[in-house]
Structure 1
Amino acid sequence: MSALWIALIVLALAAGGYVLGRKRALASVGGNTRHLHSLPSYYGANVAMMAAVPALILLVIWLILQPMVLNRMVAPMIGSVAAGEAGEMSLVMSDVRRVADGLDAAVDQGVLSGAEARDMQSDSTDVRATLSNVGVALGSDVTAETLSAAQRYRALSSTGSLLMTVVVLAVALAGAITATLRTHRDFRARNVVEHGMRVLLIGAACFAILTTLGIVLSLIFNTVKFFNLYPASDYFFGLTWSPSFGGGSSLGILPLLWGTLYISVIALAVAVPIGLFAAIYLSEYATPRIRAFAKPMLEVLAGIPTIVYGLFALLTVGPLLVSVFGEGGFAGVGWMQGGTAVMTAGLVMGIMLIPFVSSLSDDIINAVPQTMRDGSLGLGATKSETVRQVVLPAALPGIVGAILLAASRAIGETMIVVLGAGAAAKLSLNPFEAMTTVTAKIVSQLTGDADFSSPEALVAFALGMTLFVITLGLNIFALWIVRKYREQYE
């Protein structure tokens, strides 16, 4: 049984337990709720929680651990690479899992019977043909060891899934029955439910923190590996970015940082004035009817996928700029040789950032106390003078924080840069030349058939760590400014 069906059955048991627990609580006092310690809903929620939470937690843990256990049990069967490198073993085990999934699919679709899948011989051509019929692609020929390991993996996986179904449903039933038997008029159901919810909330917070910690530690460990192989001084102060997977690479980050900051500055030069003016209009001048229409329409820009912005930059903005600034263009200056350039990516990224600036600035401007506006107007100032001399100075720290948050978003953008700015790592002041950014090179360094232990692949983690530190610093600075503003004006 699939994990989805198990979860649905557990939730159905929890729903039934809620009804049963509530009825049992009411029955214990003859229907008079005043004699219960807690509201009837708490008794039902206690049974539902005891049925669902332990079972679902066990299900998640089982789904995480089962593949690890199966890999450890099946890996010794691959004798040819059992003592090899971890990367080679990982590739072989990927093929083993694909063959096992293909055998399952073949049985489900009637291409093979269960006995045929279990006893199938290791003719590579026959195995490939069978798996091809069910849409499974392999990266290499199927050896006898791989097929035998896949059959063993399939058998163990089937046994594990059956055992998981039995154990998880048994835990759900045991929890529901235990909680139901504990339900009576004096049972402190509200206390138990509230304590359980508190534990769940603490667990969710800890999960988020541990996830962040895991990401940071993975970056740190791989960055340390990179600096053990490549000099840190050449990385931080090198003026050339020229990776070569055959050796002799120049991995200076300065050209990438320059491209990242250049594109981000152009994007902010577009987004900040438009977004700020839009926020001032919506908060100070627009009627409620116009605001109700314009604000959601403006925020639609934030919901457009970045790949769409990238295609817009590649197919529309780039050719438009070439028609104006290219050779033979309207301006006749010949500055732009192709559609991919810093200006192309910066303009489109600025459009993408407009809702970030406008929404945050609008909320901050609306947070300025109305008494400040009334006092300015009462002293004879006009509406525009009030906005310029009272509202904007009061909201300025918050607006600066919004701009810094938008800047961190611009620094981390990838798809618009890949499609709109090009892939050339260079130090140049010409905004109509192709350049690239840190995020674009992270993608390029981790794609392909590079050795994952080489400096050319590990440099992606050093780039990611550098970008993480920069954006973290911007976010901390922005939040500090916003908090200072709130303390001053609330």
Structure 2
Amino acid sequence: MPLLWIVVSVLVLGAAGYIMGRQRALAQAGGDSRILHSLPGYYGANVLIFTLVPAFLVLMVWLFVQPLVIERQVTATLSDTAIEEAGSRGLVMSDVRRVAEGLDVAIGQGALNRDEARDYSTQGHDLRALLGSVGVALGRDVTPEVLSAAQRYRALSHTGNLAMNVVVLVLAALGLAYAYARTRPEFRARNSVEYGILTILILASTIAILTTVGIVLSMLFETFSFFQLYPAQDFFFGTRWAPTFESDASELGLLPLLWGTVYVSFIALLVAVPIGLFAAIYMAEYASSRLRSIAKPLIEVLAGIPTIVYGLFALITVGPLLRDYFAEPLGLGTSSSSVMTAGIVMGVMLIPFVSSLSDDIINAVPQSLRDGSFGLGATHSETVKQVILPAALPGIVGAILLATSRAIGETMIVVLGAGAAARLALNPFEAMTTVTVKIVGQLTGDTDFSSPEALVAFALGLTLFVITLGLNILALYIVRKYREQYE
């Protein structure tokens, strides 16, 4: 049974439980809701919660744990020779999953029946032709050992999915029956529902925290593995980035990537901060309500444009324009991919981040401060400069630091606008790259994930995480330290 059907089935059971619980409470009260401890809806909601929450919790845990268990069992059947031929355990398991998927697709299209898929034992190139006919691309011939592992992977997946369906549906039915049996006029349904909602909220917060912890720990473990293979001193203080998967002569210095990240982000902020801040001041203090209602949504549209569109704009329009009218006439470069190209386009993307947040912060300054300034004889511009901006400064700084974090994490605009050259240079019309671009590059393609050239992506990611975390902490500190409390 597909996952969607399971979710829909549980939701249907929950809706039925809500109706049944509500009707049972009213029936036992003789139709007089005043006899009930809680409103009738609470009795239905109590049955709904007991039906949905345990079932969906088990479903989520099962979906997370099952692939790990199956992969572990299938990996145990693979020989060291097969792993060495593939390059790594992860690559051979990738082939196993794709072959298993191909068998399922072949069954769905009628090319195989279930018994043939279970007992299928032809040569690797014949199987590859069959899988190719159903749209499953493989990078290498399918060996009998990989085919056998794929058959086992498919069988375990189907068994696990069947067990999951049964357990989830049975658990939902049991929860419905248990909550329905507890539905009586004297039952404190409202207290139970509120406690259940509180539990759900706590669980959601816990999941968010655990997700963050899991991301950090995964990066820490892989970064530790990287530093066992490559010296940390050479990584943090190296001035050359030259990864080579073919030999041990890779140079994985962080400084060129970090410099490119800082340089592009700096130019982006030079564009975004003045324009965004001035636009916020104008809309908050000078623009009419009619103009503000039109201008603010138009500026915020910039935040909804996909970054790939910004990247194409940088590649096709801004890059050639800067090259033809600035870089070549000044003798600073001949390439349309440059730090200036990516920085300007990224700055345009960041304008709504600075503008909208600053506008909201300026509007939050109490009107009494404005009135007091006007009463002392200050002009409108003097009030903005000497009263409103100092009062809103902590929030504005926080908005700028948030835009900085967004700029540091941008990838697509840099890929298409700034190129992929890792270098230490001051010329803004030269191609450079950033940390995020190299993270994507090192994890893309048929790579050995146990090599330093692949594991370095996690070290780069952890470095980027620490930088953005530091900026967010700094923004929070500034806001809390310098924020004025108004009555």
Q: TM-score range by the shorter chain?
A: over 0.9
Q: Map 1:165-184 to 2 at 5 A.
A: 165-184=165-184
Counterpart position of 1:320: 321
Q: Map 1:182-331 to 2 at 5 A.
A: 182-245=182-245, 246-327=247-328
Measure the CA separation in 2 of the matches of 1:303 and 1:32: 52
Counterpart position of 1:470: 467
Task: For residue 48 of structure 1, report the CA deviation from its aligned partner.
Answer: 0.7
**Does structure 2 conserve the Cα–Cα contact (< 8 Å) formed by 1:318 and 1:344?**
yes
Gaps of 5+ in 2: none
**Does structure 1 conserve the Cα–Cα contact (< 8 Å) formed by 2:267 and 2:343?**
yes
Measure the CA separation in 2 of the matches of 1:29 and 1:77: 62
Q: Map 1:13-162 to 2 at 5 A.
A: 13-79=13-79, 81=81, 88-162=88-162
Measure the CA separation in 1 of the matches of 2:400 and 2:237: 28
Kindly report the root-mean-square deviation, in angstroms, between the aligned alpha carbons of the 2 structures.
2.0
Q: Map 1:421-440 to 2 at 5 A.
A: 421-440=418-437
Pair 1:86–1:204, CA change in 2 (3 A)? farther
Q: Map 1:340-489 to 2 at 5 A.
A: 340-489=337-486
Measure the CA separation in 2 of the matches of 1:73 and 1:263: 47
Pair 1:119–1:220, CA change in 2 (3 A)? closer
Aligned amino acid, residue 238 of structure 1: G
Task: For residue 216 of structure 1, report the CA deviation from its aligned partner.
Answer: 1.2
Q: Secondary structure at the match of 1:347?
A: helix
Measure the CA separation in 1 of the matches of 2:143 and 2:450: 27
Aligned amino acid, residue 252 of structure 1: G
**Does structure 1 conserve the Cα–Cα contact (< 8 Å) formed by 2:261 and 2:408?**
yes
Task: For residue 159 of structure 1, report the CA deviation from its aligned partner.
Answer: 2.6
User: Which whole-Å deviations, capped at 9, do the CAs of 1:354-403 have from their partners, x for residues lacking one?
Assistant: 00000110111011110001111222222222111211111112111111
Q: Secondary structure at the match of 2:330?
A: coil
Larger mean Cα displacement after TM superposition, 296-305 or 254-263: 254-263
Larger mean Cα displacement after TM superposition, 42-51 or 409-418: 409-418
Larger mean Cα displacement after TM superposition, 135-144 or 295-304: 135-144
Measure the CA separation in 1 of the matches of 2:30 and 2:165: 38
Pair 1:450–1:120, CA change in 2 (3 A)? closer
Scaled by the length of structure 2, what TM-score is found?
Answer: 0.95
Task: For residue 151 of structure 1, report the CA deviation from its aligned partner.
Answer: 2.6
**Does structure 2 conserve the Cα–Cα contact (< 8 Å) formed by 1:122 and 1:142?**
no
Task: For residue 477 of structure 1, report the CA deviation from its aligned partner.
Answer: 0.7
Measure the CA separation in 2 of the matches of 1:283 and 1:148: 68
Larger mean Cα displacement after TM superposition, 366-375 or 290-299: 290-299
Q: Secondary structure at the match of 1:488?
A: coil
Aligned amino acid, residue 219 of structure 1: M
Pair 1:388–1:418, CA change in 2 (3 A)? same
Pair 1:220–1:45, CA change in 2 (3 A)? same
Pair 1:58–1:307, CA change in 2 (3 A)? same
Task: For residue 439 of structure 1, report the CA deviation from its aligned partner.
Answer: 1.6
Q: Secondary structure at the match of 1:106?
A: helix
**Does structure 2 conserve the Cα–Cα contact (< 8 Å) formed by 1:81 and 1:89?**
no
User: Which whole-Å deviations, capped at 9, do the CAs of 1:69-121 have from their partners, x for residues lacking one?
Assistant: 32333334434647869973332232222222222222222222222222322
Pair 1:65–1:316, CA change in 2 (3 A)? same
Aligned amino acid, residue 344 of structure 1: T
Task: For residue 49 of structure 1, report the CA deviation from its aligned partner.
Answer: 0.8
Aligned amino acid, residue 357 of structure 1: V
**Does structure 2 conserve the Cα–Cα contact (< 8 Å) formed by 1:397 and 1:485?**
yes
**Does structure 2 conserve the Cα–Cα contact (< 8 Å) formed by 1:270 and 1:347?**
yes
Measure the CA separation in 2 of the matches of 1:448 and 1:16: 49
Measure the CA separation in 2 of the matches of 1:270 and 1:83: 51
Measure the CA separation in 1 of the matches of 2:177 and 2:272: 59
Pair 1:95–1:231, CA change in 2 (3 A)? closer
Query: Percent identity of the aligned residues?
Result: 68
Aligned amino acid, residue 264 of structure 2: I
Gaps of 5+ in 1: none
- The ranges of structure 1 where at least 4 consecutive aligned residues each deviate by more than 6 angstroms after the TM superposition are 82-87
**Does structure 1 conserve the Cα–Cα contact (< 8 Å) formed by 2:37 and 2:189?**
yes
**Does structure 1 conserve the Cα–Cα contact (< 8 Å) formed by 2:267 and 2:347?**
yes
Task: For residue 43 of structure 1, report the CA deviation from its aligned partner.
Answer: 0.4
Measure the CA separation in 2 of the matches of 1:233 and 1:403: 32
Pair 1:468–1:151, CA change in 2 (3 A)? closer
Measure the CA separation in 2 of the matches of 1:86 and 1:360: 51
User: Which whole-Å deviations, capped at 9, do the CAs of 1:206-259 have from their partners, x for residues lacking one?
Assistant: 111111111111222222223333333322222222233312233222222222
Scaled by the length of structure 1, what TM-score is found?
Answer: 0.94
Larger mean Cα displacement after TM superposition, 236-245 or 341-350: 236-245
User: Which whole-Å deviations, capped at 9, do the CAs of 1:118-139 have from their partners, x for residues lacking one?
Assistant: 2322232332232222211223
Aligned amino acid, residue 476 of structure 1: I
Task: For residue 304 of structure 1, report the CA deviation from its aligned partner.
Answer: 1.1
Larger mean Cα displacement after TM superposition, 228-237 or 74-83: 74-83
Task: For residue 278 of structure 1, report the CA deviation from its aligned partner.
Answer: 0.7
